[in-house]
Structure 1
Amino acid sequence: MAPHRILVVDDDAAIRTVVREALRREGYVVETATSLAAQRAALASFRPHVLVTDVVLPDGNGLDALTETFAAQPDLPVIVLSAQNTLATAVRANEQGAFEYLPKPFDLDELARAVAAAIASRGAVAMPDSEAAGEELPLIGRSPPMQDVYRTIARVVSNDLTVLVLGESGTGKELVARAIHDLGSRRTRPFVAINMAAIPRELIESELFGHERGAFTGAQARTAGRFEQAQGGTLFLDEIGDMPADAQTRLLRVLQSGEYSPVGGTRAIRADVRIIAATHKDLPRLIAEGLFREDLFYRLNVVPMTLPPLRERGADIGELARHFLDRAAADGLPRKALSEDGAAALAAHSWPGNVRELENLMRRLAALTREDVIGSTQVARQLGARDLPAPALSGDGGQDSLGEAVEHHLTRYFAAFGRELPPDGLLDRLMDEVERPLLRLTLAACKGNQLRAARLLGINRNTLRKKLGDRGIDAGDVRRMGGSGGSPG
């Protein structure tokens, strides 16, 4: 059998060379192009089995050209590469009929797997059937953890599969649910949210399914429940882990049969809703403790999606913070800017309250900061760290030792949870929080020179690069900061 032909389109010579050689090693015949015009010519003459294309090209947009490409070759799988790395790009690539979307920088092994899967799927690529998504979407961030979220959203918006969104409190689970609804076929119908933890257990069934007049004391008239209110749209069941056992049983029956009856009623109502559920709790642990139905879990866990905590999204914190400052200004608060050292100070915080905590902090900073530019001093003051001693690396246990600073930090961290304990895995999170600012500040002190930074840290350059990737740190952003990060401490 003749080798499969792959056309790679990118205006970056380095990317073309690396991808071409990697795919040739896999046994493919590879040709490259640098523009849409060259792509059109190669599609006609080379007749590739798979097209790998960048989005931004010198003479146009690779996504815009997909309609023309599919008109000429309807069964051609397309793998889209992009450095834009936004939810809009991922969704638009999916809507335009792309087989796969890979954010830059991408892993060559992942690209090779995508090409192999694309070849195996020949003939199964759907034509685009909806308008491209706009850029005004509710999710912000380009870090690797968020790319996984965007790709999952892009794959579920075109169907009605049940989605279970997992993540700590404040990570944006309802924003994800709204994005899935707003980008899907049910976007013109209602989006209805209900928080299971906020409703008395004796009222949950009535809230979900409604009730007939006289169903219980005080039921003076028939009332529609959330299922009926969401008919034709999306029902978001937030904090599903707090749902009482009897309501879990009733919900399971609805999910199995597609029908429900109001409390006190006998007529069956057909449920035409998409279900998106969310929780910050460990559902498998609740199942083991007998607090959550295993069969309901499997009904809800059709497409699981885990949202990263903010401490794992260090590269996104500055962008998020500036977004919240813009939103605060739109709401009438004073307009403020955020300096690079202010962004670095935010990135070094633990964020037990996640994105919600960051948003509240930025609103507070906008309201209380006298200066037009928010720097590290203002950030530290509002985080309650103005009395935090400058930590030394001597480890002598004195008042200004690193141990004192860590103890102060952990004291505030535990206090943020009140009577509850923080999520398990505290040691790993602490090591992550220590390593991320250490890497950022060391790179900044070395003006982005990774070889010098690796020597200063006492590790090799490959280890440094892996740690930067694991921690979601963009070395280019740190390089642009120059030496503004200061010295550790």
Structure 2
Amino acid sequence: MADTPHQPSLPIADGGTALTSAAVDFARAQGVQASVAHSLEESRRATARGAKGATAQDVTLPDGTTFDLLAELDTRQRSRAAVASGETSLEASRRAAEPAVADYAPKPLYPPKFESVLSQASARALAQIASARPDGMIGDCDAMRQLAVDLDRVAPTSVSVLITGESGTGKELVARAVHDRSRRRGSFIAVNCGAIAPDLLASHLFGHERGSFTGAQQRHVGFFEQAHRGTLFLDEITEMPPALQVYLLRVLETGEVTRVGGSETIPVDVRIVAATNREPIQSIEQGKLREDLYYRLADFVIALPPLRARGSDVVLLANVFVERLNAEHGQAKQLAPDAERMLVRHGWPGNIRELRSVVQRAYLLSDGPLVRIPVLGRRAMPLHQDDSSIVFHVGMSYADVEREMLLKTLAKVDGDKTEAARVLGVSVRTIHNQLARLATGEDASHA
């Protein structure tokens, strides 16, 4: 995001001036800091200062060679070294082709190739910095810059927030960012309203007293009480039954809950952040969202863009996922040079969730240092899907497929689990078991 705390740096080493001049000009044009060294010793110091950046190195230096420096660096630092050389010896060519070298540009420098080398090095530097962000909010497009401004404005307040956006765009990440940047010291509690059986949702949200219904063997404290002095994130709010929306509105207006089967009113200090992947006004017209509840929730609306509308953010995010996988697996892989073209041309109907899945699979299938993105289709998911249709795509997990099929079918039959079981050709018990897994967070695909 635009408020990245550290600007990437690009230490540049050159025995002469040709590499230095071209590299400094290009780096600064990209908004990247550049430091210059003309010897191996200066390069050591510059590389140490630029630990979060990349390095552009000429092979021949007055007191040694680039390869002397690379041998001293750890694996992840070496993977960020772009080497330029005028040498034509077999030994220089062999060493320049080693996995320790991120990329190679022969001298005299051919501008397009050299720009490609430095562009990739800068992208990797930005990705390493971004991958360390604790809130996971990554991006540099106009929409993400505006999101940073909006979060700074709304997070410290107590107003309710409604987040809209397609599935997989990171709505829960934004909700967590609102909570983390707020002054609230209570817990952040997330609940997917579409993943809990409608007849159990009231108990989950507001709690229940012992004996209030069959199976209620002890008192249960609901999500509202658990989120006291904190934030309650209500994902897929349009999947909440209309009758329950009435009670939710009352709780929001009074600041009190009554457990199912109880009579005592319990004060709660809870900030609500809600989210939906549907168009809110259309949901109101379809009777899926009460208009009065919408206006109570939408004190401040944040609309997240689909990944296909975020331009080069897709490349930055892919590099971030590679960096995180490197940290997890102790590797120093990087995206292949042709990855940017493959990433930008795809429509990403599954948004960030799909991108993460594609990158992870490509990473695990890569035997060498380069992560090659497979050929992907160009189909983009329509902005608004018909309620009777489901869009599946390559890279979507089985868990996601099952979840979408189950929830869309339940929505189509107005929550009738017996009818949903008949339509899907499974038992009613299977429907209950799947809903229970979703409710307890076992659905690993949820983002």
Of residues 176, 180, 200, the one that matches 2:197 is 200
Q: Deviations over 1:400-449 (max 9, x none)?
A: xxxxxxxxx44x969xx9972569xxxxxxxxxxxxxxxxxxxxxxxxxx
* Distance (whole Å) between structure 2 residues aligned to residue 330 and residue 367 of structure 1: 14
Output the TM-score relative to the length of structure 1.
0.50
SS in 1 for 2:374: helix
* Distance (whole Å) between structure 2 residues aligned to residue 235 and residue 166 of structure 1: 16
Structure 1 letter corresponding to 2:360: R
> What's the counterpart of residue 420 of structure 1?
389
Q: Is the 8 A contact 2:135 2:176 kept in 1?
A: no
Structure 1 letter corresponding to 2:373: V
* Distance (whole Å) between structure 1 residues aligned to residue 285 and residue 249 of structure 2: 18
> What's the counterpart of residue 404 of structure 1?
none
> What's the counterpart of residue 143 of structure 1?
141
Of residues 283, 288, 291, the one that matches 1:291 is 288
> What's the counterpart of residue 253 of structure 1?
250
Q: Is the 8 A contact 2:322 2:333 kept in 1?
A: yes
State how 1:379-418 maps to structure 2 within 5 Å.
379-381=373-375, 383=376, 409-410=378-379
> What's the counterpart of residue 313 of structure 2?
316
Of residues 338, 355, 363, the one that matches 1:366 is 363
Identity of aligned residues (%): 44
* Distance (whole Å) between structure 1 residues aligned to residue 296 and residue 324 of structure 2: 38
> What's the counterpart of residue 175 of structure 2?
177
Q: Deviations over 1:363-400 (max 9, x none)?
A: 111111223112xxx3134x3x6xxxxxxxxxxxxxxx
The Cα shift of 1:344 comes to 2.4
Structure 2 letter corresponding to 1:301: A
* Distance (whole Å) between structure 1 residues aligned to residue 282 and residue 314 of structure 2: 31
Q: Is the 8 A contact 1:333 1:366 kept in 2?
A: no
> What's the counterpart of residue 235 of structure 1?
232
The Cα shift of 1:172 comes to 0.2
SS in 2 for 1:223: coil
State how 1:15-94 maps to structure 2 within 5 Å.
none
> What's the counterpart of residue 208 of structure 2?
211
The Cα shift of 1:231 comes to 0.8
Q: Deviations over 1:307-364 (max 9, x none)?
A: 0100011121111111111222333385420134212210111000001111111111
Matched, 1:331 2:325: no
* Distance (whole Å) between structure 1 residues aligned to residue 234 and residue 193 of structure 2: 7
* Distance (whole Å) between structure 1 residues aligned to residue 133 and residue 360 of structure 2: 24
* Distance (whole Å) between structure 1 residues aligned to residue 175 and residue 231 of structure 2: 9
Of residues 157, 171, 179, the one that matches 1:159 is 157
Mark the runs of 5 or more structure 1 residues left unpaired by the alignment.
Answer: 1-55, 58-133, 386-408, 424-489
> What's the counterpart of residue 224 of structure 1?
221
The Cα shift of 1:195 comes to 0.1
* Distance (whole Å) between structure 2 residues aligned to residue 335 and residue 180 of structure 1: 33
* Distance (whole Å) between structure 2 residues aligned to residue 335 and residue 172 of structure 1: 27
Q: Is the 8 A contact 2:362 2:374 kept in 1?
A: no
Structure 2 letter corresponding to 1:259: E
* Distance (whole Å) between structure 1 residues aligned to residue 381 and residue 289 of structure 2: 29
The answer to which of 343-352 and 302-311 deviates more is 343-352
Structure 2 letter corresponding to 1:272: D
* Distance (whole Å) between structure 2 residues aligned to residue 332 and residue 241 of structure 1: 40
* Distance (whole Å) between structure 2 residues aligned to residue 179 and residue 366 of structure 1: 28
Distance 1:219 1:172, change over 3 A: same
Q: Deviations over 1:168-223 (max 9, x none)?
A: 0000000000011111111x321000000100000010000000000000000001
Of residues 349, 354, 366, the one that matches 1:352 is 349
> What's the counterpart of residue 403 of structure 1?
none
The higher relative CO (CA closer than 8 Å, separation ≥ 6) is in: 2
Q: Is the 8 A contact 1:336 1:372 kept in 2?
A: yes
The Cα shift of 1:289 comes to 2.1
Q: Deviations over 1:446-483 (max 9, x none)?
A: xxxxxxxxxxxxxxxxxxxxxxxxxxxxxxxxxxxxxx
Distance 1:344 1:281, change over 3 A: same
The Cα shift of 1:160 comes to 1.1
Matched, 1:266 2:260: no
Structure 2 letter corresponding to 1:150: A
Structure 2 letter corresponding to 1:197: G
State how 1:92-111 maps to structure 2 within 5 Å.
none
Q: Deviations over 1:81-103 (max 9, x none)?
A: xxxxxxxxxxxxxxxxxxxxxxx
* Distance (whole Å) between structure 2 residues aligned to residue 290 and residue 168 of structure 1: 20
Structure 1 letter corresponding to 2:326: A
Structure 2 letter corresponding to 1:327: R
Q: Is the 8 A contact 1:210 1:263 kept in 2?
A: yes
Q: Is the 8 A contact 2:205 2:223 kept in 1?
A: yes
The Cα shift of 1:138 comes to 1.5
> What's the counterpart of residue 81 of structure 2?
none
CA RMSD in angstroms comes to: 2.6
* Distance (whole Å) between structure 2 residues aligned to residue 150 and residue 422 of structure 1: 31
Q: Is the 8 A contact 1:334 1:367 kept in 2?
A: no
Distance 1:152 1:413, change over 3 A: closer
